[in-house]
Chain A
Amino acid sequence: MRFLIFLLPALLAAQQLSILPASVELTHREARHQLIAEAVRGGYQQDLTRQAEWSSSNEAVAKVDAKGIVTPAGDGEAVITAVSSGAKATARVKVSGYAAPFTWSFSGHVIPVLTKMGCNQGACHGALAGKNGFKLTLRGYDPEVDYDTLTRQAAGRRVSLADPAASLLLKKATFALPHGGGKRFSTSMLEYRVIQEWIANGAKAPQANDPVVTGLEVYPKSAILKPGDEQQLVVRARYSDGRVQDVTRWTKFSSSSEGVALVDDSGRVKVTGAGEAAITLWYSSRVLYARVTSPFENQVSAADYQHFQPRNYIDELALTKWKSLKLAPSKSASDAAFLRRAYLDAAGILPTAEEVEIFLNDTAPDKRAGAIERLLRRDEYADYWAYKWSDLLLVSSRKLRPNAMWAFYHWIRDSVKENKPWDKFSREIFTGSGSSRENGALNYFVLHKDTVALAENVTQAFLGQRLTCARCHNHPLEKWTQTQYYQFANLFSRVGQKNGDRAGETVIYAKAAGDINHPRLLRPLAPTPLDGKSMPLDAAADRRMHFAEWLTSPDNEYFARNIVNRVWGSIMGRGLVDPIDDVRATNPASNEELFDAVVKDFVRGGFDIKRLIRTIMNSATYQLSSEANATNQADNIFYSKYIVKRLPAEVILDAMSHVTGVPTAFSGYPAGTRAMQLPDVRVQSRFLSVFGRPERIICDAGERSQDPSISQALHVINGDTLNKKLSAADGYVALFQRLGLSDSRVLEHLMLSAYGRYPAEEERKQMLDALNKARVSGTTSEAAKEARRQAMEDMVWAMLTSKEFLFNH
């Protein structure tokens, strides 16, 4: 009996074999289907397709070869079996239409072949100008045009009905004739046969009622593998006539992260490292992805997760991901680390020495939540997030007159202050008309006067999508088509602008007419938000209203995902989707389930930004230490430790003012204005420029740089900004000396102010030693005082240029 108990796990493990997909329909004699024999062992997937023994229960219905490819033999049903290491799995096959006449279709087969063989890629005949006088639509996005090109142009030589094999299309592609593109396929390949038979059958044109692809499926949808493993993917297309076919052979594959997994043309994945990769699939202008998870090589047990106390759904979902990757979360951050971090992430400021001391000595069990709450109510919170949205909406004096810029900025800041929900905020921009001075939001249109520029900025800022490629052809990476581009752009072709009565005032109104034409069709298309419903071309209603309704609908995933990702990334150090503003279908989140949940919660909560920030910051995940443990040294993606990040330029400058007690003077602004309160990025400041302040010219998160550079180092070593703050006669260093405070007390205060913590004993001793050695003896008391002050300045300089100061950790 005991013997059997030992065997049981082995038996269970061995029996975890399945065939994917489990059920297959072959609806004509040319149909083929790749099957995969997938085992699950010890939590990992294993592709045993090539090792398994394949057999069919009825070879008169369906045959299967050693590679797991099923071919039809006659109408009926059969069972395919795969056997490997004693485990067995089955799949059902149904064959129909075997005897019926079958012809390859242009849209359904010829175009996919041309696409997979690369004929219509951007490098070749899919280029804007085609190649050698032969132009196809990029990746076959317009079969009707391609059909015309192939059958009517070039004196009909491309496709020869009388002698199919003599068709230029085939002779060139097989290199029977010289071909700049080389030999794309041989005469013995299926691809040749598809085209040749299509021609021989009369080269029938695409029909309006041809079945179209309505969606894709991929098997396995996700797999947990090890570096070195290989996994075959199978892709199926669902058609509007109900059929489901294996299109693996003609799918285009790519990996989102080659450091984790590579994929070849046949859909075979090879794992190269640890982490997660999305294998994106493209077929017939449809996209999908399969997820490959490659856990880190760690030994983890339940004990490694015990210290982590989930506080909300964020923690639960993060925990699930860590477990699947064999990452253990770091311990919780200390109170001191937490407080400084929270102040910086919520409001872009440092806590004062007093605030730190009070917090560290507070014994209330919920003091962290209390601190977060107080931060969210501060004016600086409003300044900080108004600045972020000003980055997003490109507020600057470059194109806006000063009072217009101020109107725009104030509207943004007031909205943050009153915690205006994000949908209401966005609607105010798109449904507003009238004076840009009365309604600062309307300055958004003044910045983007051109229809195309406006459409593209809207998608980038409010939807996190980059639509530009689709201006000229179907987007090669995304599902957006050129048609959709021009339907979308036409929503913005009637935004009228005229000068108002006062300087800097523009009046925005909806024009009664105006359209943007599709460049090839030479006519306007019905205005349609990306995945939404069209409105009639001749409708008199303000098109922006139609757009605004779609944009802010709770069902609009792009809208919610875009803003959630930006807020999340700002606080957590990396968006769930990276880059932070590239939230497209083929760039999945590092934790899709978590992202989904946060987005749903955000929408349910009424698009409340403050609530979102509160939820994130109160999670245990946010409050993890940034110190690695034995398992997560290499993780800077999955939040198993807090991601250390250099502070933005404005925050650093303000923080330096805070510690030294010397504000920065900004030309044209009242004394005491903090960098984070500036509405304009063109305010002169070498410090801000060199530390990466964005120019707010294009809506791209990459405009702001947070990388250290030699120029920055030179500026803090030799430039005036920091040096003058340190030596100012009315700064804290001078003040503390005048007050006669001891070096020890001064150091403690400064540490609390700059680092948010008390000095450690050893550290305090070393710094005091250094300061003592700098004392000058045997001189006048004036000289001695001067030397002491300079020494303290130098010590403060050292603190303010250290990593601990310049980073959020």
Chain B
Amino acid sequence: MFRLDADRAVEFCDGLRRRDFLHAGTLPLLGLGLQQMFGLKALGAVDQKKKETNCILLMLVGGPSQLDTWDMKPNAPIEIRGPYKPIKTNVSGIEISENFPRMAKHADKYALVRSVYHTAAAVHDTGHQMMQTGRLFQGGVEHPHFGCVLGKLKGPKGDVPPHVLLPRPIGNTGGNMPHGQNAGFLGKMYDPFVLNADPADPNFRVPDMLPPDYLSALRVDRRKNWRELVDKEVSKFETSQDARLLDSTFHQAYTLMSSQKAREAFELHREPEKIREKYGMNRFGQSCLLARRMIEAGVRFVTINMFETVFDEITWDIHGSKPFSPISCYKDLVGPMFDMAYSSLLEDLHDRGLLSETMVVGFGEFGRTPKVNPAGGRDHWPQCWTVLMGGGPLKGGQVVGSSDDIGGFPKDNPVTPAMIAATVYKGLGIDLETELPGAQGRPIPLVDRGNEPMHQLFVG
């Protein structure tokens, strides 16, 4: 019996190292990945010359109110401007809500797009779909999340999954289970790796990452080989996507297990206490910190869901009455939570020299009504809201597009979710002419024609 020790390679009596066993088994997987890469390079989808850009997407579930966060209208009537006042940022001419003092010191690192809108139904689900895929779910077509597209086009970098979702998928926001969070028609093979654990948990560890004490490396490897021996290529499974996916998930699991770098990326306890506290000891703050580690370990795209539901929880969804949140929570809870985590993330990435190759994008599924409602809150308003975009090639310290006097409608440079998608893809270095293989082989363009990226955001 041999104990597994993450810090040292364990040697067997014949001199072979544990990792060698597991690596030998994963070579076919790497070969497969390379083959895919060659094929896709031939298609021109991946631009070799450009430096690789990663992305962290912060899903501000619930829909932040533009008038109480990053598009203040202090001169509007009281029933519109709400209870909060603007403060200056470190970029002259740009002001944001007093609830985000730390963010205000990093305004050079993000751009505010204040003219985002969509024209679909004003429910959470449509926003989630459109903001994460660039399209609305209709005609039975499940469009893929940006991170999944990136994973399919560029494959994994090293032993970590290309797209990681922290901490859990968005659940009940009213009506059906939300679309737009996975790989859709690209196939479940490209679904994100979902953490399904709370990084703020004192005992946080990715469950089941390593074999138990009583199972030797020899046995783990033997099981892996015998599974392949037993699990025949029975033709009845050929046409089942789920069956093919099962094999792929085992491959990926073994890859993760055998990579110390990958495993350590998930080990939050390796971070100094004061760094963890800087991000905020809550689920969102620790997810942001974990996301930084993921990027460092080679993950290309990290999606963080700040909340998983809008019911009976304090979120951005400030209707003002139960089971939703009150407007005061932007001052008491949600504002500070975001402020700490977001500014720490930007600062941390910047200090480590990662910000220039990591886009950090933050948005909710819609804005909120300019007129405060009778309950003292604001309701859904997809007609105008603000999106945060920075990092990577995106130029911060500017306002792109603006809204009217009351933050109700875009005044200039109206931006649609499809344009945001185009911007994200361009930032990731993906050719916008790329076509994805849809159902029955039908080619589906990355973004619909006529949707341009926001050129103002790109330097040079």
Min distance, Cβ A705 to any Cβ of chain B, angstroms: 9
The reply to whether the CB of A520 lies closer than 8 angstroms to some CB of chain B is: no
Q: Is there an interface contact between A628 and B239, defined as CB atoms closer than 8 Å?
A: yes
- Chain B residues near A575 (CB, 8 Å)? none
The reply to whether the CB of A690 lies closer than 8 angstroms to some CB of chain B is: yes
The reply to whether the CB of B177 lies closer than 8 angstroms to some CB of chain A is: yes
The 0/1 profile, CB within 8 Å of B marked 1, for residues 116-129 of chain A is 00000111100111
The reply to whether the CB of B88 lies closer than 8 angstroms to some CB of chain A is: no
* A468-B175, A798-B226 given; A723·B249 CB < 8 A: no
Residue among A257, A634, A770 making CB contact with B140, cutoff 8 Å: A257
Q: Is there an interface contact between B172 and A259, defined as CB atoms closer than 8 Å?
A: no
Q: Which A-chain residue is minimally distant from B246 (CB atoms)?
A: A708
Min distance, Cβ A785 to any Cβ of chain B, angstroms: 15
Min distance, Cβ A141 to any Cβ of chain B, angstroms: 15
Residue of A254, A709, A799 with highest tally of chain B CB at under 10 A: A709
The reply to whether the CB of A274 lies closer than 8 angstroms to some CB of chain B is: yes
The reply to whether the CB of A466 lies closer than 8 angstroms to some CB of chain B is: yes
The 0/1 profile, CB within 8 Å of A marked 1, for residues 124-136 of chain B is 0000000000000
- Chain B residues near A715 (CB, 8 Å)? 207-208
The reply to whether the CB of A794 lies closer than 8 angstroms to some CB of chain B is: yes
Q: Which B-chain residue is minimally distant from A261 (CB atoms)?
A: B139
* A residues 621-647 in Cβ contact with B at 8 Å: 625-628, 633-634, 636, 644-646
Q: Is there an interface contact between B239 and A702, defined as CB atoms closer than 8 Å?
A: no
The 0/1 profile, CB within 8 Å of B marked 1, for residues 449-479 of chain A is 0000000000000000010110000001000
A-B contact number at CB 8 A: 197
The reply to whether the CB of B231 lies closer than 8 angstroms to some CB of chain A is: yes
* B residues 224-251 in Cβ contact with A at 8 Å: 226-227, 229-232, 234-240, 242-243, 245-247, 249-250
Residue among A697, A720, A794 making CB contact with B222, cutoff 8 Å: A794
The reply to whether the CB of B210 lies closer than 8 angstroms to some CB of chain A is: yes
* B residues 106-165 in Cβ contact with A at 8 Å: 119-122, 138-141, 161
- Chain B residues near A698 (CB, 8 Å)? 172, 176-177
* A123-B119, A700-B176 given; A713·B438 CB < 8 A: no
The 0/1 profile, CB within 8 Å of B marked 1, for residues 462-503 of chain A is 000010110000001000000000000000000000000000
The reply to whether the CB of A592 lies closer than 8 angstroms to some CB of chain B is: no
Residue among A122, A258, A274, A711 making CB contact with B119, cutoff 8 Å: A122
* A residues 790-809 in Cβ contact with B at 8 Å: 790-791, 794-795, 797-799, 801-804, 806-807, 809
The reply to whether the CB of A148 lies closer than 8 angstroms to some CB of chain B is: no
Q: Which B-chain residue is minimally distant from A330 (CB atoms)?
A: B236
The reply to whether the CB of A255 lies closer than 8 angstroms to some CB of chain B is: yes
Residue of B161, B193, B219 with highest tally of chain A CB at under 10 A: B219
Residue of B209, B242, B257 with highest tally of chain A CB at under 10 A: B242
The reply to whether the CB of B211 lies closer than 8 angstroms to some CB of chain A is: yes
Min distance, Cβ B166 to any Cβ of chain A, angstroms: 13
Min distance, Cβ A694 to any Cβ of chain B, angstroms: 10
**Interface magnitude class on chain A:** 35 or more
The reply to whether the CB of B29 lies closer than 8 angstroms to some CB of chain A is: no
The reply to whether the CB of B203 lies closer than 8 angstroms to some CB of chain A is: no
- Chain A residues near B87 (CB, 8 Å)? none
Q: Is there an interface contact between A628 and B252, defined as CB atoms closer than 8 Å?
A: no
The reply to whether the CB of A431 lies closer than 8 angstroms to some CB of chain B is: no
Residue among B122, B236, B242, B383 making CB contact with A707, cutoff 8 Å: B242
The reply to whether the CB of A514 lies closer than 8 angstroms to some CB of chain B is: no
Residue of A697, A718, A720 with highest tally of chain B CB at under 10 A: A718
Q: Is there an interface contact between B237 and A644, defined as CB atoms closer than 8 Å?
A: yes
Residue among A129, A625, A710, A770 making CB contact with B229, cutoff 8 Å: A770
Q: Is there an interface contact between A719 and B191, defined as CB atoms closer than 8 Å?
A: no
The reply to whether the CB of B41 lies closer than 8 angstroms to some CB of chain A is: no
Q: Is there an interface contact between B440 and A259, defined as CB atoms closer than 8 Å?
A: yes
Q: Which A-chain residue is minimally distant from B179 (CB atoms)?
A: A702
Q: Is there an interface contact between A256 and B234, defined as CB atoms closer than 8 Å?
A: no
A719 to B208, CA, bound (A): 5
Residue among A690, A797, A809 making CB contact with B236, cutoff 8 Å: A809
The reply to whether the CB of A352 lies closer than 8 angstroms to some CB of chain B is: no
Q: Is there an interface contact between A802 and B231, defined as CB atoms closer than 8 Å?
A: yes
Given contacts A646-B243, A798-B231, 5 further A-B contacts (CB under 8 A): A466-B176, A633-B239, A636-B240, A644-B242, A803-B243
List, sorted by A's number, 7 A–B pairs whose CB atoms are closer than 8 Å.
Answer: A124-B119, A258-B140, A628-B238, A698-B177, A708-B188, A718-B210, A803-B237
Question: What are the nearest 9 A-B pairs in CB distance?
Answer: A123-B119, A713-B253, A798-B226, A702-B177, A273-B440, A259-B439, A802-B231, A258-B139, A714-B208
